[in-house]
Every structure is written in C-alpha cells, then in structure tokens.
Amino acid sequence: MSNQEMLDKLRDIIVSQNITGCAAATQEALDAGLTAVEIINGGLSVGMKIVGDKFEAAEIYLPQIMMSAKAMNAAMEILIPILEQEKGPNDEGVGLAITYVQEGDIHDIGHRLVTTMLGANGFKILDMGVDVPNDKIVEEVAKYKGKKVLLVGSALMTTSMLGQKDTVSMLAEEGLRDAVKIMFGGAPVSDAWIAEIGADATAENAADAARVALNLMQ
Amino acid sequence: MATEYKLRMGDGKRIFMTKEQIIADLKEGMADAADLGSIPDLSADEIDKLVDILTMPSRMVGVELGKEVPVTHDIGTIRLDGDQGNSGVGIPSSRLVGVMMHERAFGADTMELGHIDYSFKPAKPVIAQEMQTMEVCQQNTIVPLFYGAMPNMGLYYTPDGPFENPGDLMKAFKIKEAQESMEHAAKHLTRDIVWIMQRMMASGADGVNFDTVGAAGDGDMFASLHAIEALRKQYPDMYIEAGMAGELMLGLHGEMEYDGTVLAGLWPHQQAPLAAKAGANVFGPVVNTNTSRSGAWNLGRAVTFIKQAVKDSPIPCHVNMGMGVGGIPMLETPTIDAVSRASKAMVEIAGVDGI
C-alpha cells in the first residue's frame, strides 16, 4: 500500500466512524514509516473536515460525529506521545484548552463534544466539568499565565450565559485577559454576545469549534 | 427621511423598518430556507406581495374574500381556563365549555380535546376520564372533534420513563446503546399512542391530532409514523393530522428510516410525503421563529419552506401558526398584527389548505 493509500484509508476510517479500525490503521501507518504529523494532516484531519462538512450540511448527526471524534481520539492516543517526544521541552504545540460549563448549568453534551474535538485536534485538555464558578476559572487561568491557553466555556441557558460576561471582566480585573484567548459556545451564544462581552470567538458546532480554536491560537 | 413601518422582532419587540430594509430581510430569510432545504426562491411577485402584507396600515389584516381556509384548533379548551398551572386566560370553564365556545363563538372548523399534560403517555392513567370527557363533548357538539397530544418520546427516558436517557449515554460515548434506547422507546411510544386512540375512538372521537411530531428527534417521528400506519389500518375512515415540531427533523439517532427514507435531516417538503404514506389525512408543517431576527426575515423564510411543502404534499397542509412558529413572534399571546399578517401570507402566497 502506498503512503497516499494509507492516508486515504485513515481518512475513510474517520468518515465511517470506525473506532477500533482507526487505532490499528494508525499503528500500521507508523510502522510503514509515516510520521505522526503526516498521519494527522494527510489522513485524520482530512477525514474530520469531511465529517464536519457533512454535519453542517445535515447529512450526518450528533451520534455519527461523536463516533468519528472517538475514532480520531483513538488515533491521537497513539500519536500524542510520539509528538511529545519529537517536540522540545518548550514546545507547547497548539496550546492548552481549559474547558468547562458555566456556573448554574449542568448541560454538558456540547461541552464534552467540543472538548473531544479539541483534544483530537492536538490541544492539551484541562476539563473542569460542569457548574464551574468564575473564581475557579480565574484561579486556573492564573496557574498557566505565560503559556498558550484557550478558555472554552459553554452555557445552554440564557441565565447561565450571563455569567460569561463576568468571566471576561473578572479575568480583566486580575490582569489575565491578555494571557488567554476566550471562546464561548452554547445555544444562546451569538456573535453579537461575544462582541458585547469582549470575548474572542464562538462557533456554530463542535466541528466548527475545532477550526475556530486552531485559528485563534495561530 | 424614508417612511418606516411598524414590524416586530421574532421575540415580539416592536421595531421600525424602511421598505428597503423589509425587502432585504425578506430576501435574506427566503435565501436561508432555499439554501437549507435546497428549494426554489420565492418569485419577485411573491416578495412584492409579502412587502404589501407587511406594510399594510391596518392593525390587523385578513385574507381576500373567497380565499378563506379551514381553521383547525388544538388545545384551545385549556387556554381559556387559567387555573390548572397553565397559561390560560383565566376564564373558569370545563373542557366541554371550551369546545362549545370554540365551535359556537370562535368559529373553529375542527376542534381538539387534550389533557393538561398534553402528551400521550400521561393520558394512560387518566384514560377513563379522557374517554368520558370525549363522549360528553361529542354529545354536545357537532364540530369534528379529535383527541390531541404530543408523542413526546422524551417522557420514555430516565428519570421520567423506563429507558436509559440517550443524552446520558451519548455523553459517555455509548452511542450504540443510546441508539438502542431510542429504538426501544419508539416501540413503546407507538404502542401507547395506538392503545390510547383505540379507547378515544370507542368514545366517539372523530380522529387524532399528533401535535409536535419529532420534538424528541427522529425516533419520535419514527414512532409517530408507525402509530399513524397502525391506526389507519384499524380505522380506515379516521381523521389523522400529523403536525410537526420544527422545520428540520433532528437526527438524535441519525439512522432511523421509515419506508426506506432516513428521517434525520428531513425538511417540511420531504416530511409531508412520508406522513401521507403512513396514512395521515392532513400534514401540519412547522417553521420555527428565530427570536433574534425580524418578522420580515422570519416570514420570508417560513413562507419559502411552507410553499414547497404544500407543493410536494399529496395531502392537505394545515400550517402551524402560533407562538414561535410560522413567522409569528415567540410570545405567549402573539400579537394580532403579526399573527394576521403571517396567516394571510401563508394562505395567499404559500397556498396552505388550512391553519
């Protein structure tokens, strides 16, 4: 099998949501001499792009995109240790994503999906869970001051969404606003809200979130 | 200064727009529907007509003479009484009085009996009461009277029902298990709907109104279509209305099919033929209102979707018009200026058979 055929196989495995097959094909590609970066950029990410496009076109749905993300995760579990070995000690990669659901809100399907997608796209993940108070978020961001950090907050309800405004202002009060990029998501979050509260970005869905996050961290 | 017209946002807020702004929003809403549903745009004449309707100076408007359509009413009996923890207007009245008022005073062409919980599942333990009320209502009225409820498949999952909640399972990436839970719940929902309607038909009901089909995703529609099919087989002359929950059939399962068609992702013009195939007499298409966009944007979008549904439907289409659907603002008591304009547009431009 040529290198391109192996990459195409990885792409198709992601699109067809083959979780066990993805780990095996990734190992096969590594054994054949492909690098981790080649496998991600030429195979896995191409597959996830197709999956994201199909999701946005309402051709596939939440269960299918979750299966594809899980397949990608299975590959990343093999590839991340290799990437970390290849990187120097000071290379942070795309960065650390601190993900959470806003205080007063326990709806975490979107939060988990976005977290998975970010992990699958190379972010180190610190998942703070649900119902997270703003002072805990500020505390966590402060620990990583000076590093490449992306804050990713989720809120399903308009009532909990209001807390996102306080997140931004509390980070500013603590002198941390410029130390972190901030993305917020959830059903009521709009571009207008992001502009109003001074955050950096939002995204339409989990696939879009990974793309927006990578752009923000460039 | 350009003349400004009074319109509303999707959340009901009063706004003022120039004719040019109205046209721009109508076209943007239309383009959104056309793009999502892969359906044709409205014609220039139809856009002009929509502008005329939205800029009419009267507070309320009506359809042209000769273009009147039947008006089907759903749970209206309960909206009169405000003493059951619901959103009624506070007129003490039984459901029988409610049906009679709709028949004799409000001009409803058909009417529905529904329980305050308004889902099929909670009607099971009170079925004797529902049967008795149906019988008494039938004895006192001549209006075609249906039994109505939501399929509401969410009630079959924990903590409300016996099956594991697919939301919890999916969070744990147990996708297959989540899909299986939906399939099990769908079978029980179909069974319950048929069981309830057998008893309501024995009590004199003229038919059934499935209200908000698909509210719990594609499994909800799957169960409802199978219930329609079973009821049609058992009651060849029964009136069956299949009213939807939204314009897009959400793919919570993603792979469920009815008669070889994947249900997830269907738009109104694709939903209608399936409802007809299952055995429905009337299809109730729905387009949800975006509260952050203007009434013009919402109406342009809703009329574009519904016009195509009417065109592709082999059975009459009675469009859902009420709070938060059909270009009407999301208000508990929608304003008459918005309701009458959206309804006129649906009749005269989308060509609906009823409301």
Residue-wise pLDDT for B287-338, tens only, equals 999 998 999 999 999 999 999 999 999 999 999 999 999 999 998 888 999 9
Question: What's residue A109's pLDDT?
Answer: 78
- Res. A58: pLDDT tops 90: no
Mind telling me how many Å the CA of B330 is from chain A's nearest CA?
A: 15
Give ranges for CATH 3.40.50.280 in chain A: 96-216
The arithmetic mean of pLDDT across residues B183-200, rounded, is 98
Per-residue HEC secondary structure of B54-67 comes to HHCCCCCCCCCCCC
| Chain B residues within 8 A of A63 when measuring between CB atoms | 170, 175, 178-179, 251-255
Confidence of residue A112 (pLDDT cuts 50, 70, 90): confident
Question: What's residue B92's pLDDT?
Answer: 86
- Res. B83: pLDDT tops 70: no
Choose from A22, A61, A127 for mutation: most chain B CBs within 10 A: A61
> If contacts are CB pairs under 8 Å, which of residues 139-158 in chain A contact chain B?
none
Residues of chain A with pLDDT > 70, as a percent, come to: 98
Closest CA relative to residue B43, chosen from B286, B304, B267, B270 = B304
Mean pLDDT of chain B: 95
Confidence of residue B134 (pLDDT cuts 50, 70, 90): very high
- Res. B271: pLDDT tops 90: yes
Burial of B204 (0-12, 13-18, 19+ CB in 10 A): middle
The answer, for B257 touching chain A at a CB cutoff of 8 Å, is no
The residue that leads in pLDDT, B296 or A58, is B296
Q: Lowest-confidence range among A60-74, B23-37, B277-291, B311-325?
A: A60-74
The residue that leads in pLDDT, A186 or B232, is B232
> If contacts are CB pairs under 8 Å, which of residues 162-191 in chain A contact chain B?
190
Question: What's residue B43's pLDDT?
Answer: 98
Q: B175 vs A60: CB contact, 8 Å cut-off?
A: no
The residue to which tokens 């009624």 are assigned: B88
- Res. A151: pLDDT tops 70: yes
Mind telling me how many Å the CA of A182 is from chain B's nearest CA?
A: 23
The arithmetic mean of pLDDT across residues B99-112, rounded, is 93
B111 DSSP 8-state letter: E
Residue-wise pLDDT for B213-269, tens only, equals 999 999 999 999 999 999 999 999 999 999 999 999 999 999 999 999 999 999 999
Specify the CATH number of the domain A96-216: 3.40.50.280
Q: Which residue of chain A has the CA closest to B267?
A: A58
The residue that leads in pLDDT, A53 or B302, is B302
Closest CA relative to residue A14, chosen from A1, A27, A4, A23 = A23
> Which among A66, A109, A190 has the least Cβ separation from residue B175?
A66
Q: A61 vs B254: CB contact, 8 Å cut-off?
A: yes
What is the gyration radius of the CA atoms in chain B, in angstroms? 20
Mind telling me how many Å the CA of B162 is from chain A's nearest CA?
A: 21
> Which among B250, B254, B292 has the least Cβ separation from residue A64?
B254
Residues A3-86, CATH architecture: Orthogonal Bundle (1.10)
- Res. B169: pLDDT tops 80: yes
> B133: phi > 0 → left, psi -120 to 50 → alpha, else beta; which?
alpha
Residue-wise pLDDT for B61-70, tens only, equals 999 999 999 9
Structure tokens at A48: 């996830």
Closest CA relative to residue B326, chosen from B353, B305, B351, B308 = B305
Residue-wise pLDDT for B119-130, tens only, equals 999 999 999 999
Confidence of residue A46 (pLDDT cuts 50, 70, 90): confident
> Which among A61, A67, A108 has the least Cβ separation from residue B171?
A108
Confidence of residue B82 (pLDDT cuts 50, 70, 90): low
Question: What's residue A138's pLDDT?
Answer: 96
Mind telling me how many Å the CA of B97 is from chain A's nearest CA?
A: 38
- Res. B147: pLDDT tops 90: yes
Give ranges for CATH 1.10.1240.10 in chain A: 3-86
Confidence of residue B86 (pLDDT cuts 50, 70, 90): low
Give the sheet arrangement for strand B239-244, strand by strand: B111-113, B145-149, B207-213, B239-244, B282-284
- Res. A19: pLDDT tops 80: yes
Output the pTM of the full model.
0.86
Burial of B127 (0-12, 13-18, 19+ CB in 10 A): middle
The answer, for B292 touching chain A at a CB cutoff of 8 Å, is yes
Question: What's residue A182's pLDDT?
Answer: 97
> Which among A58, A59, A109 has the least Cβ separation from residue B167?
A109
Question: What's residue B115's pLDDT?
Answer: 92
The arithmetic mean of pLDDT across residues B194-221, rounded, is 97
- Res. A201: pLDDT tops 90: yes
Question: What's residue B344's pLDDT?
Answer: 98
> If contacts are CB pairs under 8 Å, which of residues 133-172 in chain B contact chain A?
167, 170-171
